[in-house]
């Protein structure tokens, strides 16, 4: 099966229960949710409801109706950003955003004239929360931060930033793509108004799943219009949640898989998962130093990063390294800008990109040993 070290892109493998649940749904249930009154449709409704409940419990959200299913965090972020920002609004964001945020903002800047402030950070990606306050203006309508960088792993002080946002009554949107499932997140304690997450990374669920937790009383314009399974003669999108923001037949097969994935996380314990990842991360940071002419970017403190390590070798491009690892050693990593060019501006790799490993719960120290041996051999070929 090879050594999979690209968990920051998507987690693999998934707990076996996830695939079994998807298979069982496809083979034995298969009916749509929210649109039928026969038994199988009601079973489908129940499974979607159970998943909503388990997501709400994971992120400590009280109102189940405000757990919105989407197809991934990109859709969740687009929904929040485009549903809130209006012409003339100002938005504050971090220097480490993924294109899911950055392109959405740039598009609104070009098309409807919003303005954007990017809060600077140091070379390790650390943002001083007080700096966020300096950028607040009369027309600031949204503050958006990624919880952790997908390039250098840096975890942002979201609770502190959320606290500032609350003081100014500005909605605070967090991109939890790299943390949901592996870091405890409490929308209330962490002062998060909108939490965007994806199901297929550390939540260990299938691709095509994700969501938005809405923890504020403010209208969010729907991104899409269409069928919701009820009030069909009303000619507009309903005003009540979740139907206001959930349109079209949901990905019930994926949602059912996500339910099993969250059960696995809760049974295993988020702390156990995090500690295991940190153990392998710490080992990897130490062992990678043995590779000659390696530059590792970002913080090297396992308390300050998620389990992502970004690096370059002196005499090989990131793409060559990833290609050789795959072709000659059956080790899978990612190379390039990782859809987050802003973060590369911070570490000075915007022209060359980086090689990135993403450690997951199912990785072992032996995977790192094989990676380090392979990198040493790749180096020696020069």
Ligand X SMILES: Cc1ncc(COP(=O)(O)O)c(C=O)c1O
Among 5, 18, 100, 321, binds ligand X (CB under 6 A): 100
Q: Binding of ligand X at residue 98 (CB under 6 A)? A: yes
Q: Binding of ligand X at residue 202 (CB under 6 A)? A: no
Q: Binding of ligand X at residue 74 (CB under 6 A)? A: yes
Among 178, 251, 310, 354, binds ligand X (CB under 6 A): 178
Identify whether the C-beta of residue 340 lies closer than 8 Å to the C-beta of residue 151. Answer: yes
Strand, coil or helix: what is 275?
helix
Q: What pairing do the DSSP bridges indicate for beta strands 172-175 and 140-146?
A: parallel
Identify whether the C-beta of residue 177 lies closer than 8 Å to the C-beta of residue 73. Answer: yes
Among 21, 29, 73, 174, binds ligand X (CB under 6 A): 73
Exposed / middle / buried, residue 262 (Cβ in 10 Å: 0-12, 13-18, 19+):
buried
Cis peptide before 380 (omega within 30 of 0): no
Min dist. Cβ of residue 63 to ligand X (A): 24
Among 61, 78, 140, 150, binds ligand X (CB under 6 A): 150
Q: Restricting to residues 320-339, which ones interact with ligand X according to CB under 6 A?
A: 339
Which of 30-38, 175-183, 268-276, 368-376 is the region at the interface with ligand X (rule: CB under 6 A)? 175-183
Build a one-symbol-per-residue string for 348-367: x at contacts with ligand X by CB under 6 A, - elsewhere.
--------------------
Kindly tell me which of 100 and 114 has the beta carbon lying closer to ligand X: 100
Nearest to 96 by CA among 148, 164, 174: 148
Which of 70-78, 273-281, 316-324, 343-351 is the region at the interface with ligand X (rule: CB under 6 A)? 70-78
Q: What is the DSSP string of 217-232?
A: -S----S-----SS-T
Q: Taking CB positions, which residue lies at the least distance from ligand X?
A: 150
Nearest to 334 by CA among 362, 357, 366, 361: 357
Which of 51-59, 72-80, 123-131, 132-140 is the region at the interface with ligand X (rule: CB under 6 A)? 72-80
Q: Binding of ligand X at residue 127 (CB under 6 A)? A: no
Identify whether the C-beta of residue 175 lies closer than 8 Å to the C-beta of residue 146. Answer: yes
CA distance 89 to 138: 9
Kindly tell me which of 44 and 310 has the beta carbon lying closer to ligand X: 310
Q: Binding of ligand X at residue 342 (CB under 6 A)? A: no
DSSP H helices, the chain, are 16-24, 39-59, 73-84, 99-112, 129-134, 158-167, 252-268, 270-288, 318-329, 341-347, 365-380
- Cβ-proximal residues to 65 (8 Å cutoff; 6+ apart), any chain: 240, 241, 242
Kindly tell me which of 36 and 208 has the beta carbon lying closer to ligand X: 208
What number of chain residues touch ligand X (CB under 6 A)? 13
Which of 14-22, 60-68, 84-92, 171-179 is the region at the interface with ligand X (rule: CB under 6 A)? 171-179
Min dist. Cβ of residue 169 to ligand X (A): 26
Among 72, 78, 93, 156, binds ligand X (CB under 6 A): 72
CA distance 149 to 110: 25
Residue 193 has phi, psi (to 5 degrees) of: -90, -35
Enumerate binding residues for ligand X (CB under 6 A).
9, 72-74, 98, 100, 146, 150, 175, 177-178, 198, 339
């Amino acid at each position: 099966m090879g050594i999979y070290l690209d968990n920051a892109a998507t987690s693999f493998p998934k707990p076996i229960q996830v695939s079994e649940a998807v298979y069982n749904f496809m083979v034995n249930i298969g009916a749509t949710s929210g649109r039928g009154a026969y038994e199988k449709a009601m079973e489908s409704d129940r499974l979607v409801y159970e998943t909503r409940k388990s997501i709400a419990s994971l992120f400590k959200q009280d109102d189940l109706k405000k757990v919105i299913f989407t197809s991934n965090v990109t859709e969740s972020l687009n929904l929040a950003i485009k549903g809130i920002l209006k012409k003339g609004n100002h938005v504050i964001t971090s220097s480490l955003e993924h294109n899911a945020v950055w392109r959405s903002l740039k598009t609104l800047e070009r098309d409807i004239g919003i303005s954007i402030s990017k809060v600077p950070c140091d070379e390790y990606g650390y943002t001083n929360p007080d700096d966020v306050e300096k950028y607040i203006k009369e027309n600031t309508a949204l503050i958006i931060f990624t919880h952790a960088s997908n390039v250098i792993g840096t975890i942002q002080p979201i609770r502190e930033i959320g606290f500032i946002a609350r003081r100014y009554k500005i909605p605070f949107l967090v991109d939890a793509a790299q943390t949901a499932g592996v870091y405890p997140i409490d929308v209330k304690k962490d002062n998060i108004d909108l939490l965007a997450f994806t199901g297929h990374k550390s939540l260990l669920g299938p691709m095509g799943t994700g969501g938005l937790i809405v923890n504020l009383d403010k209208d969010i314009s729907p991104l899409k219009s269409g069928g919701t399974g009820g009030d069909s003669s009303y000619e507009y999108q309903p005003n009540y949640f979740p139907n206001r923001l959930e349109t079209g037949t949901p990905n019930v097969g994926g949602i059912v898989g996500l339910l099993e994935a969250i059960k696995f996380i809760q049974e295993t314990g988020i702390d156990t998962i995090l500690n295991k990842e940190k153990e392998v991360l710490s080992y990897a940071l130490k062992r990678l130093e043995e590779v000659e002419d390696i530059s590792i970017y970002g913080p090297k403190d396992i308390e300050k990063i998620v389990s992502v390590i970004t690096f370059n070798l002196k005499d090989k491009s990131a793409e060559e390294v990833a290609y050789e690892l795959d072709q000659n050693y059956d080790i899978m990593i990612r190379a390039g800008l990782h859809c987050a060019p802003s973060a590369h501006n911070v570490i000075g790799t915007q022209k060359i990109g980086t090689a990135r490993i993403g450690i997951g719960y199912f990785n072992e120290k032996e995977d790192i040993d094989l990676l380090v041996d392979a990198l040493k051999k790749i180096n020696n070929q020069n």
